Structure 1
């Protein structure tokens, strides 16, 4: 499955954190991402398969994919529920 930034989001990357705003929910608080969540967000640019994300995060932190797989999936599920990430079809 391919996941990507939702179309109605705007975001700013300050280096140590990423701040995401849902443009269709301007009354909501922005989503502030730090650490591995910010790494995953950056990797989502252009869309990625969940498997590719797990591999890339593992590589970034020099750990095995099994060490980060659950965390990546939890982040993606939360981000989808918040409307910041959308799911598509594909690898």
Structure 2
């Protein structure tokens, strides 16, 4: 699936999150499955608490917080969002 920079990302309301041991752990209440996020993924998940965001918004957030080239940030976020979508954690 190709994700555009204007695509809106929103969290699934049936997912709860907690920080455990330096990572964010997501629990899909419907499926009963867990999913772990590193610091960058956790920052993205936290940003989505305030409501839907575009991919471009999420890239800007990560670029302002973490030191990495823009193309790497965009590629990594697209991969994360695709994975989260595949697991029903975001829409």
TM-score in terms of structure 2 length:
0.80
**What is aligned with 2:47?**
43
The alpha carbon displacement at 1:64 in A equals: 4.4
TM-score in terms of structure 1 length:
0.80
How many residue pairs are counted as aligned between the two chains?
A: 84
When you count strand as a share of all residues, which structure comes out higher? Answer: 1
Q: Once superposed, what is the RMSD of the aligned Cα atoms? A: 1.6
Mark the runs of 5 or more structure 1 residues left unpaired by the alignment.
Answer: 87-91
Q: What CA deviation, in whole Å up to 9, does each residue of 1:6-45 have, x standing for no partner? A: 121111134721110111112x3x1111122222211222
Aligned match of 2:26 in 20, 23, 37? 20
Secondary structure at the aligned position of 1:44 is classed as: helix
Mark the runs of 5 or more structure 2 residues left unpaired by the alignment.
Answer: 1-6
**What is aligned with 1:65?**
70
